[in-house]
């Protein structure tokens, strides 16, 4: 049974109850429009923890001006259906003001030097800082023991590893292999 939670106090209660039982908690951060690649992350998370929280949140701070934030596919009902079949314990689906109480423009930001500024970062200024900013918030909200990220977004994984070490987040990172379509294309929400 997947519990859909949108309220931070309720999320904290739920995770605190698991902790009181000595259970290990995993987080799988996503932006929704879930597909087989995401469900394989849930399965991997399950192998590393007793309970799995999947966050579904389209993060405004990682989209640049003119990028596809408004057009990014949002399919919350189908996502919850999929998470039920995949056996996730909680779908964490916060509104923008729950993640950014002062609004995205007035948010405290995490800026990752070096690795966030090259390759894709050079073409999308601020993108990886937006990713680091939201992942730090999700870590603080969920307080997972372990978090699973796909190797598909390899630079993102490197940015998060850097942040976790530098800010001493007590979170173990698990990197998941790429899942591909029959024609070899890496599975991605944007393929749709």
Q: Which residues are catalytic?
A: 38
Contacting range for ligand PAF; rule: CB under 6 A; set: 9-17, 23-31, 97-105, 140-148: 23-31
Neighbours of 184 (CB within 10 A): 6
Q: Which is nearer to ligand PAF, 1 or 108 (CB)?
A: 108
User: Residues of 134-162 as b/e, b for ≥16 C-beta within 10 angstroms?
Assistant: bbbbbbebbbbbbbbbbebbebbbbbbeb
Closest distance of CB 21 from ligand PAF, Å: 27
* Per-residue tokens: 28: 């799988």
Contact pattern from residue 55 through residue 94 relative to ligand PAF, giving x for each residue in contact according to CB under 6 A and a dash for the rest = ----x--x--------------------------------
β-sheet with 90-92: strand ranges across:
3-5, 90-92, 51-56, 25-30, 146-150, 172-176
Which residues does residue 5 pair with via DSSP β-bridges, in sequence order?
92
Binding residue (CB under 6 A) for ligand PAF from 134, 136, 159, 163: 134
Asked whether position 31 contacts ligand PAF by CB under 6 A, the answer is yes
Asked whether position 11 contacts ligand PAF by CB under 6 A, the answer is no
* Per-residue tokens: 74: 């949002």
Binding residue (CB under 6 A) for ligand PAF from 29, 60, 82, 94: 29
The residue ranges that bind ligand PAF (CB under 6 A) are 29-31, 59, 62, 131, 134-135, 153, 156
């Amino acid at each position: 049974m997947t519990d859909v939670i949108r309220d931070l106090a309720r999320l904290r209660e739920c995770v605190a109850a698991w902790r009181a039982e000595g259970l290990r908690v995993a987080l799988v951060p996503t932006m929704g429009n879930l597909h087989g690649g995401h469900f394989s992350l849930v399965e991997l998370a399950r192998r590393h923890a007793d309970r799995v929280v999947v966050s579904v949140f389209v993060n405004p701070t990682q989209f640049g001006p003119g990028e596809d934030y408004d057009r990014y596919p949002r399919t919350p009902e189908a996502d919850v259906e999929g998470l039920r079949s995949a056996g996730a314990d909680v779908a964490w689906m916060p509104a923008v003001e729950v993640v950014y109480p002062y609004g995205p423009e007035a948010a405290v930001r995490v800026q990752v030097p070096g690795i966030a500024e090259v390759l894709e970062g050079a073409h999308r200024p601020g993108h990886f800082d937006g990713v680091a900013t939201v992942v730090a918030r999700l870590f603080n909200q969920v307080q997972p023991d372990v978090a699973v990220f796909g190797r598909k977004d390899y630079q993102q994984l490197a940015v998060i590893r850097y942040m976790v070490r530098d800010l001493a987040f007590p979170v173990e990172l698990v990197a998941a292999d790429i899942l591909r379509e029959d024609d070899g294309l890496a599975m991605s929400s944007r393929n749709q």
